Amino acid sequence: MRRILALLAGTLMAVSGCSIQPDASPNDLPANRAEVFGDVATGDVAAGTNRIYLLAPTDPEVPQRLRPAQRDVPTAPKSVLDTLFAGPNAAERDAQLDTAIPADARVLAARPVGQLLTVDLTDVFDELTPDGLRLAVAQIVSTATDIEGVQSVQLRIDGEPRVWPLGNGELTDRPLTKFDYPGLVESSQPAFPAIPSPLQ
């Protein structure tokens, strides 16, 4: 038994002698840190936390859709709607994003009361075609209901109530929600291939 214990002790001493010993002296890092650590990580530039909805490029195969775009603006409803009414920026126009909202349209006020946002607009929407008006209203409602705490939107012209088109073209004077415009917002999901039919 003593011989076995002595043999084990000798083996442990030999193994520990081969292990890496700590080096207490300081060492300089190499001039090119990438050789040791790899490329320095970089983050994407923040694009903002608020979203507006613009018109996606037209496709003859599908109806016009709305596409979300990030904006770095205060979350106050009027600030978000003002940036929507300013339209696409230069890069978005280069990407063929557009808006149905008239260039001279303005947001006069945006007053939240509970989950309802009342938006007062200038009187320029009569110049739009019925389809253009439907898309413009969908842009406003989709943008407004993305603001935290807003569930529905009441649109007015110079303080007066009007009727507005729903996604199916019907007119209403009630508050509008994003559910009134089904299928108008472009899906963020990738187009998955169809499941093949089983072989007969």
Q: Is a pLDDT exceeding 50 seen at residue 56?
A: yes
Residue 10: pLDDT band by 50, 70, 90 thresholds?
low
**HEC sequence for 99-153:** CCCCCCCCEEEEEEECCEEEEEECCCHHHCCHHHHHHHHHHHHHHHHCCCCCCEE
Closest among 176, 178, 199 to 66, alpha carbons compared = 178
Q: Is a pLDDT exceeding 60 seen at residue 16?
A: no
Q: What pLDDT was estimated at residue 64? A: 85
Name the DSSP class of 67: E
Q: What pLDDT was estimated at residue 3? A: 56
Q: Is 159 helix (H, G, I), strand (E, B) or coil?
A: coil
8-31: average pLDDT: 50
105-109: average pLDDT: 97
Name which residue leads in pLDDT, 32 or 96: 96
Q: What pLDDT was estimated at residue 60? A: 78
Q: Is a pLDDT exceeding 90 seen at residue 116?
A: yes
Lowest mean pLDDT among 10-19, 88-97, 114-123: 10-19
Lowest mean pLDDT among 3-17, 73-87, 110-124: 3-17
pTM above 0.75, yes or no: no
- Domain chopping of the chain, boundaries: 50-180
Sort 117 into a burial class: Cβ within 10 Å, 0-12 / 13-18 / 19+: buried
Lowest mean pLDDT among 21-25, 79-83, 146-150: 21-25
117-146: average pLDDT: 96
E strands in the chain: 50-55, 66-71, 107-113, 116-121, 152-157, 160-161, 164-165, 171-172
- Tokens encoding 126: 């009569």
Q: What pLDDT was estimated at residue 188? A: 55
C-alpha dist (Å) from residue 130 to 105, 135, 186: 17, 9, 20
What is the distance, to the nearest Å, from the Cα of residue 88 to the centroid of all Cα atoms in its chain? Answer: 15
**Spatial contact of 107 and 120, defined as CB atoms under 8 Å apart:** yes
Q: What pLDDT was estimated at residue 35? A: 45
Residue 29: pLDDT band by 50, 70, 90 thresholds?
very low
Residues above pLDDT 90, as percent of the chain: 62
Q: What pLDDT was estimated at residue 34? A: 40
Q: Is a pLDDT exceeding 80 seen at residue 98?
A: yes
